A and B are shown apart, each in its own frame.
Chain A
Amino acid sequence: MPIRPLVHVVAYLLLAAAPFAFGQLSNYYAEVLTTVAVFVILAASVDLVVGVAGQITLGHAAFFAIGAYSSAILTARYAVAPVVAIAAGMFLSALAAYLIGLAVLRLKGYYLAMATLGLTAVTFTLLVGVREWTGGAAGFGGIPRFRLAGFEFSDGRHYYLLVLAAAFLVVVAARTLLESAYGRALIAVHADEATATALGVDASRYKVSVFVFACALAALAGSLFAHHLRFIAPDDFTIAQSIHILVMAYLGGIGTIYGAALGAFTLQVLPEFVHHFKDYERLGTGVVLILVLAFFPGGLYGLVRGVGERMRLRRARLGEAAIGR
């Protein structure tokens, strides 16, 4: 499916305007949607690694943390410009992903899942333990607002526009990769590494490159997250978080990028509307995920597209009936 710029621009404008539909509560909803956008970046990037390249990673929270804490420490303690801090965080994350990826992406299946799980656990322990740098379990507060070229994003609604734009760029970039020769190479490595190799694909190189790219994006999400809540704590970067991100991608429809974005949106927004059932939220998520994995492998996105297909067919048939066939 070719990427249609118009659809994306319209979608951006609609989502950008969304908080204002809530009038007095526009600030609150802008904040909610900013968090959604952060998770869209996380889910879309993990989808590239897991859904497209087929490398099951449970380590995304670790790279999310690298970005968040890099930005927090650099901007709060060393008064570094936020944009520079983001670049530093992304670079650090990419470097770590490169070194770790070279070693760990040789593993397959359960071993890879466990190794990346271990990665998240190690990072979490270090975040709690190295108190002088990270603030320990109590967290790291006082993160300044995001500033760009002298303009400070003191209004949450303005910051939302920025983060939403970042999310759109990430999704479009990921989709572009998916539909390109690069994406085809990843898909081949996913399907059958041996055959991909027989076609000249250096599987290791492609696995590592997509991993580095995705982890750099996770760091970007982390930085944006840090400036959003202006307070971060190790509890945001646990094994449960790595799992949460993966669940978003699968729920939405693994391997399509748009599915991951939809999954992130659904899992983050739904709790807002089912307040009274808060205690049953987790059960609901689990059951829906089971149903999706068992019966709707295309995820929510697949369902939406399926409905769209049927509507198109219906219109075509109605059209034929009208002409009197």
Chain B
Amino acid sequence: MTRIESNRPARPLLEVVGLSKSFGGVSAIEDVNFAVSSGHIKGVIGPNGAGKSTLLNLVGGSLRADRGAITMDGVRLDRLPAYDVPRHGVARTFQLVRLFNNNHATVLDNVLLGAHLRLAPSILSTLAGRSGRQEERLRAKAREWLDFFGLIRTEDRAPRSLAFGQQRYVELARAMMLEPKLLLLDEPASGLNDAEVGVFAGVLRKIRDEGVTIVLIEHDMKLIMSISDEILVLAQGRKLAEGTPEAVRSNPEVIEAYLGTPHETN
């Protein structure tokens, strides 16, 4: 595990320029520009309907932008087919946890799906029995991640039988199996109580310390302010502000649009 220095070099990993997306005439994202430095945690906040999830979907590749460029490490993500984006090191979790429960899929099966790209399974390779050892290695790695999140005993259970917070961590484990450079999290702490949020913040920091860049959408202000290196504020599809938590917290426009008048913030 590499420890990254606190005064990190601000090398941009992700650069978003002029991003726009509208749905049937209604603009969801309008001309948004921002960058995320490598090894940083970028929080994304904004009122409901600000376009935060849309932004994440655009970066992750599940939505096609109308205009703009999304570049990561020199690769134009917005030009790739959706299934190709993860291969360049982008993993994500979803607001409403999306784990698979069909066909007797277990927690371990779900986490192993994160290793899909590494295994690159095909009919021929499976029937020829090629991938045995690699699968064993990745299975061990999956168990490591489950253990990291304290879920090792749930590996054979159906995901829907787990508590919501546990399901969140399974989804995170699955995302980490992709060994991503960039991790996109959509409200990962919603539904967690204060104690759990504290644990979660620690988990995020550990992941960041392993060299993963994180972009996370959150409504929990305490979490976002305490953990983010930088915050992006969206309102009505446009960038309202971008900067350190302190800068954003005291930005009058942000306060007005989102946090309320000065004496309401703590």
A interface, CB within 8 angstroms of B: 51-52, 54, 173, 176-177, 180-182, 184-185, 187-188, 190-192, 194-203, 209-210, 213, 255
Contacting residues, chain B, for A52 (C-beta < 8 A) = 103
Residue B241 interfacial (CB < 8 Å): no
A188 and B62 in contact, given A181-B131, A209-B123 (Cβ under 8 angstroms): no
B interface, CB within 8 angstroms of A: 60-62, 81-87, 91-92, 94, 98, 100-105, 109, 112-117, 119, 121-123, 125-127, 131, 135, 174, 178
Residue from B92, B101, B112, B127 within 8 A of A198 (CB atoms): B92
With both chains docked as a complex, state the minimum distance between the C-beta of A169 and any C-beta of chain B, in angstroms. 10
Contacting residues, chain A, for B123 (C-beta < 8 A) = 177, 182, 209-210, 213
Is chain A's binding surface mostly helix, strand, loop or mixed? helix
Measured in the bound complex, the distance between the Cα atoms of B101 and A200 in whole Å is 19
Residue from B92, B103, B116 within 8 A of A181 (CB atoms): B116
Pairwise interchain contact A199-B103, C-beta atoms closer than 8 A: no
A198 and B100 in contact, given A182-B122, A184-B116 (Cβ under 8 angstroms): no
Q: Which 4 residue pairs across A and B have the least CB separation, nearest first?
A: A200-B86, A182-B121, A181-B121, A200-B117
Pairwise interchain contact A181-B112, C-beta atoms closer than 8 A: yes
Q: Name the residue of chain B whose CB is nearest to the CB of A212.
A: B123
Measured in the bound complex, the distance between the Cα atoms of B123 and A226 in whole Å is 27
Contacting residues, chain B, for A185 (C-beta < 8 A) = 113, 116, 121
With both chains docked as a complex, state the minimum distance between the C-beta of B99 and any C-beta of chain A, in angstroms. 9
Pairwise interchain contact B116-A199, C-beta atoms closer than 8 A: yes
Q: Given A199-B114, A201-B83, 12 other A-B contacts at CB below 8 A?
A: A181-B131, A181-B135, A182-B123, A184-B109, A184-B112, A184-B113, A187-B100, A191-B105, A198-B62, A198-B85, A200-B84, A202-B84
Contacting residues, chain A, for B81 (C-beta < 8 A) = 202
Pairwise interchain contact A255-B103, C-beta atoms closer than 8 A: yes
Contacting residues, chain A, for B102 (C-beta < 8 A) = 54, 187, 190-191, 255
